[in-house]
């Protein structure tokens, strides 16, 4: 009777143990595969932030920017820590640095910073800098790409991976520093 129960127990547990053994043996390749997944769809909601981060990285590299590991300033360190706790919040906070830098650069160059509704706007500041030739079209396009990703983080139900938020934060801080370096074009 005990032998019969032991055989039934082995029959019941054979497949789950086999599956666990296979998953354990393939753990590293499976984890690598999961990290390469760029889009997930469930319940009609599609998450593609990772794909857009990859595209943003390509645009940055095409423009000669590489977000290599850097020694972080205090804001960079804060954003990296925040990305672990609230990736979406880190993206939004990093974007705020870009907006402040664009407005500051435009004001420094006596450019208009008010949008169509009369409010101070980073978008208006960047458009004005592009029109005045202070930034190239590629920088403007990079700004738009970062803005679109920020909007996705702020207004979608998509949860962003911490690693993507960290990369976004580095890119945003790098762009903000480029705006802070803008000086007037000589006449």
Average pLDDT over residues 27-42: 59
Q: Residue 114 gets which letter from DSSP?
A: B
pLDDT in tens, 104-152: 999 989 988 888 888 888 889 999 999 999 999 999 999 999 999 898 8
Q: Which residues contact 83 (CB under 8 A, 6 or more apart)?
A: 90, 162, 163, 165, 166, 169
pLDDT in tens, 57-113: 665 565 555 544 444 567 888 888 888 888 989 999 999 999 999 999 999 899 888
Buried b (16+ CB within 10 A) or exposed e, 156-171: eeeebbbebbbbbbbb
Instruction: Domain ranges for the chain, please list them.
Output: 1-36, 48-180
pLDDT in tens, 157-187: 777 888 888 988 989 999 998 898 887 655 4
Give the model's pLDDT for residue 140: 92
- The kind and range of the H/E element at 46 are strand 45-47
pTM, entire model: 0.62
| Alpha carbon separation from 14 to 2, 7, 78 (Å, rounded) | 18, 10, 49
């Amino acid at each position: 009777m005990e032998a019969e129960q032991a055989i039934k127990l082995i029959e019941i547990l054979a497949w789950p143990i086999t599956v666990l053994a296979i998953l354990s043996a393939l753990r590293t390749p499976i984890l690598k595969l999961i990290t390469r997944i760029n889009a997930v769809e469930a319940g009609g909601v599609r998450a593609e932030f990772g794909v857009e981060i990859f595209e943003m990285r390509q645009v940055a590299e095409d423009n000669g920017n590489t977000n290599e590991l850097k020694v972080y300033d205090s804001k960079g360190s804060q954003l990296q820590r925040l990305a672990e706790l609230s990736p979406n919040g880190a993206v939004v906070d990093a974007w705020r640095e870009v907006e402040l830098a664009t407005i500051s650069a435009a004001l420094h160059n006596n450019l208009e910073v008010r949008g169509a509704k009369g409010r101070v706007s980073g978008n208006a500041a960047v458009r004005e800098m592009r029109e005045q030739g202070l930034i190239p079209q590629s920088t403007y396009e990079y700004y738009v790409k970062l803005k679109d990703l920020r909007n996705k983080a702020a207004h979608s139900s998509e949860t962003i991976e911490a690693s993507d938020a960290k990369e976004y934060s580095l890119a945003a801080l790098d762009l903000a520093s480029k705006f802070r370096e803008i000086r007037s074009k000589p006449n």
